[in-house]
Each structure stands twice: as C-alpha cells, then as structure tokens.
Amino acid sequence: MRALPLTAALLGALVSVSGCGHGDSSVTPSPSDSPSTRVTSSSPEPTEQLSATITPPGSPSSVSLLDRLLPTGEVAGLNSAWKWQDGDTGQPTTDPFGVCAKADLLSIGATEVVERTYFPPDDSDDNAAEQVADFPDAATAARTWAVLKSWHDTCARTAATDHPGLKVGALTPVPVGAGSGRWYLVSWQPAGEETGRFEAFGMVLNGTRLAVLRIDNSGQGRDYPSGKDPMVSTVTAAAGWLT
C-alpha cells in the first residue's frame, strides 16, 4: 500500500535528510570518450502501452497524466546512432527513483504518479525512465522541488565518507520554455567491474506537475561538451509535455 502524502511540515523536514541511496564502491571511473555505440539489429520487444494515443504538448489540462510522459522518440540517445526502444508505461513501484532519492514521490506529496521506461537498442543494461507526478497545489509541488534539491545536496556532501567512490556532480539549470529545469550526474565504480556506472538525473517543475528523469549507462566515461549531455535535451523535451 502506498504511503499517504506527507503534511507540509513533514515534507519540509525531508530537506534535512542525509545520506545517499546507493551502496558503497571504492574506485571512481576516469573520464574518457563518450559511451560507445553498441547498436545491433535486434531490439527488446516493446511492451503494451497503457496510453494508446500521444497528445501533443500544449494540450488542455484535462489530458491524462499518462499523456504527459515523454514519447520514446524524444529521449536523447547516448550517441548519434542510439535510438531508445519502447519500454513499459503505467504505475511505478514505491522504490525511490534515482541513486540519491530517499523516497517515492507519492510519499512526499504527490497525488498521482505515472512512469515510462525506455529500453536500449542493444543487449546492454543501459536504460532510461521518467516519472511524472501531479500535486494538489503549486505550493506542495514547489516544496517537493526543494526536497529533490536537498537529496542531491546531501548525496554530494556525504558521498566521500558514506559511499567512497561515488561522485555527485553539480546541480545545473536547464533552460526550458515553461517552468524550471535542472540536472546532475552521479558516477561510481561497481565492485568487480572494469567500467564505471553513470546516472544522469533530470527534473522539471511546472505549476502542480513535476517530472523526474533518469538515464543510466556503463562505460569508460561520460564526457560530452558543456550543455550537450543527453539529459539536457531530454529535460527540455520533457518540459514541453508538462504544459
């Protein structure tokens, strides 16, 4: 059973939560080239979508929350040849979304949350996902926006001592047409693996709606020119579907 939304006082208290949501690791991946292309001729079979039609951005407020999710074709690839495949669309689990998350969105004020996942075009464990949440009012959505920032800040502050090898990048604004956007990158070296693991985490706030996005990949590095990480354009695209 999902937890009822927190009161404003409890929601504000989450800002002081400490710790990060990922296990310990010991080596920090060193940057190198952008993730290599591993496109093959086979792709995962798309699963049944719960929303049969996609409504363009700028649609009326009566549009369902499922239709606010970013279409697969608008999620930026890891390189120019990378094309994400359809994943699952529906209700998320109560697991925290993202390495630094401490709780699910329903537990911190959302009245409804939907999720879409995106599969890689190869047999790797790279993946992407988005959650879109609705809140009872703009003030509650804004408090949750502040909680998400506190999770990033706590994760970055305690990573060196609580999770050696985990690196948390700066929270960087992303220009969007309406509302606010931002993103950051988390990296670590999984135990027993030769390549690093990377999670780009994006956020969009517009009125009573909030979207969180995640792009995970393994590789020798995740070095893109400034402002060109796939998450940047994905955040911009997601913002257009919240209006």
Q: 215-237: per-residue pLDDT in tens?
A: 999 998 888 999 999 999 999 99
Q: Are 164 and 26 in contact (CB under 8 A)?
A: yes
- Flag whether pLDDT at 24 surpasses 60: no
Contacts of 6 (CB under 8 A, 6+ apart): 14, 107, 108, 109
Residue 225 has a pLDDT of: 94
Question: What is the 8-class DSSP label of residue 70?
Answer: P
- The domain covering 77-243 belongs, at the CATH homologous superfamily level, to PknH-like extracellular domain (3.40.1000.70)
Residue 209 has a pLDDT of: 98
CA distance 174 to 205: 11
pLDDT digits (tens, 9 = 90+) for 67-117: 999 999 999 999 999 999 999 999 999 999 999 999 999 999 999 999 999
Tell me what the pLDDT averaged over the chain comes to. 82
User: What is the percent of the chain where pLDDT is above 90?
Assistant: 66
Q: Are 197 and 233 in contact (CB under 8 A)?
A: no
Q: Taking residues 157-171, report their average pLDDT.
A: 88
Burial of 12 (0-12, 13-18, 19+ CB in 10 A): middle
